[in-house]
Structure 1
Amino acid sequence: MGTLDGLKLSTAKKPAHIPAIVFRRNKLSTQLWQQIQLAKSQIDGTTFAVKKFRTVKDKETGVRKSVEVNKRLREWWFKNEQGKVCVAIKYGSRLIELAKGKHSVECENVEGLVKALTVIKSAVEAGELDAQIESASGALKLGFKK
């Protein structure tokens, strides 16, 4: 047991299921990370693409295979009437209300946009927007019911 003496051993086990709110929080955090990277690439003048796998069927042989394609990313930010950059946070197709009646954050430029997105991402990971995520998720679910 001499080689394991330097490690801190514990009885922790990986949970079988994560809570729904943690799953939603992680999903929004990933989307925010993509928006941050998209904004940074716009500043640098480069392109940013997220890859995903898509299953296609070969017309000649009829065999299905996975092909790597670029995921379509849309910018969450826009310019308002004063020429300032505004960003609205989305969960699915629903806007998240950051404060009572306020859905977007106004920034001076794209560099400020990256800072704002980073702050929002840390707020999401800390659980500060759980109620808004829950209501947006519920609204999305209602759209799928007939």
Structure 2
Amino acid sequence: MAVEQRTAIVLENITGIRSLYRRGNGQGRKYRGRMNSWNFGEVQRQIEYKARWSGLPIIRLSKRDTRGSSVACPRCGERLQTDKWLRRKLWCSNCRIVMDRDVAAAVNLSRRGRLRFDRSQPKSWAQGPPGEAMVEESEPVRETVILKVEGAR
């Protein structure tokens, strides 16, 4: 999809994700074993490799950039409210919408990645037409060239 639309791929920094699956977090031993045996870095490495192969830019967001992405409303930016019966669903009291927290995070991360990508690009008015900076003079300027300067004697 990103190749057909020629868009950038936004990746979140997932270092420290294994700390989510430790003893005492209320998860079973088998579940923790399965989650910790999954190679998180390999998935990102493969995505980066395929994106470079296709010529797509990759935007990496830091932990600071991704903070609060799953609890902010993608429409208005307000903090989404949790419901004790709908564990993965969040609702916005301002917009009156119900949204899965993973979908909200994906939309918010996409928007933040797009903003970072736009800031990294040169402004269109600053670019100018190609070759504008290297304009050759139409007639050569004839000036007297001073070859040697003599100091006071």
**TM-score normalised by the chain length of structure 2:** 0.27
Structure of higher CA gyration radius: 2
Structure with the higher fraction of residues in strand conformation: 1
